[in-house]
Amino acid sequence: MDFLHSVGVDFIVHLQTKHNSYEDWISLASAVADLHTLFFILFPIWFHLRRDTAVKLIWVTAIGDWINMVLKWVLFGERPYWWVHESQFYAAGSAPSLQQSPISCETGPGSPSGHAMASVEVWSVMVSALLAIATEKRCPSLLYRFLQIGLWILVVLIEVWVCTSRVYIATHFPHQVIAGVIIGLMVVAVVSKMKWIYRASMKTYFFVVVFMTFSGFGFYNLLIVLGVDLMWTMEKAQKWCVRADWVHLDSNPLASLVRNMGSMFGLGLGLHSALYTEKKNTSTSFKMGCVIVSLVLLQLLDGWTFSSQNHLLFYCLSFVKHAIALLISTTLVPWAISRIFKGKRDKKKL
């Protein structure tokens, strides 16, 4: 693996020296590809545009991230920003110098890339939904063909952008992002066949959340009992990151699991609450109002941050925060706006 890692490091050095003028643009891809974008921006838009697509996005990313977490713990993937300092591949003093940024110092194992997986999952689902809408609107076959080719080319370009970003900031080796893309596409293919997710009961959501959460934490503790040091990556991050404040607990696999399970639980609660089952207004103005208000409230919720000093409290609050985020879009905002619309109609009747 050292030779493969060294080739990856050479590629990172090439990117950082030859294309550093594009650093801001390249780094932006890592921020956009984070699942935070799905929970706080994309989900409320798709939920009111095409509910089944929003539901599929949550299921695909939750299952994909769970698989990513397990693979990270099993594969023990290195990260470039610490590997160059600890590898015996280089002679003393000859290790390349890799630049770091505030988003370089992730604390979990590196393989496969979670950002590469998540981005290909999200964009594949969204493009498939757009093509389905075009089919429903009886788009002319020639125009549909151009649209199909254009959208999938867009997905490829976005993935190249995201993967380049993850490599450029020295968070991943090239083979790790390629693995992430391939596994992400496999997850989408499997979940696309799971039609039952669109009619899943609250009991199903509850058991899925419980199973994935306890299996995740259970596997974590099993590895510890077997003598596996799962804190090795945190120690390396703290040792080799150029700034201590760039090392964050929320970049480890368990934190990602908690966020996804909170979102899944929030989706289940939202879809099966008494407020959601009321008859909804389907007008364009109502949907636009729901999207706009949801986005505003979600940005306010996103400002709620908490200390990671107490790990248990941090994970619990993270779960609650992401559950609330999904409840806002699915139930609370639509219910509130429908009450306002109904109040105005009642006043007109008077």
- pLDDT of 222 higher than 90: yes
262: its two tokens: 């909170």
C-alpha to C-alpha distance for 345 and 229, rounded to whole angstroms: 63
- CA–CA distance from 242 to each of 8, 103, 170, 247, 307 (Å)? 21, 12, 13, 9, 21
Helix axes 174-191, 2-18, angle to 10 degrees: 100
pLDDT of residue 311: 83
pLDDT in tens, 194-212: 999 999 999 999 999 999 9
Among 117-126, 155-164, 217-226, the minimum mean pLDDT is found in: 217-226
Binned at pLDDT 50, 70 and 90, residue 149 comes out as very high
What does pTM read for this prediction?
0.92
Task: Decide: 110 and 172 in contact? Cβ < 8 Å.
Answer: yes
Task: Just list the catalytic residues.
Answer: 115, 172
pLDDT of residue 345: 60
pLDDT of residue 20: 86
Ramachandran sector of residue 194 (left: φ over 0; alpha: ψ -120 to 50; beta: rest): beta
Task: Decide: 257 and 120 in contact? Cβ < 8 Å.
Answer: no
pLDDT of residue 230: 82
% of the chain beyond a pLDDT of 90: 70
pLDDT of residue 4: 92
- pLDDT of 349 higher than 70: no
342: its two tokens: 């109904």
pLDDT of residue 39: 93
pLDDT in tens, 17-54: 999 888 889 889 988 888 999 999 999 999 999 999 99
pLDDT of residue 245: 87
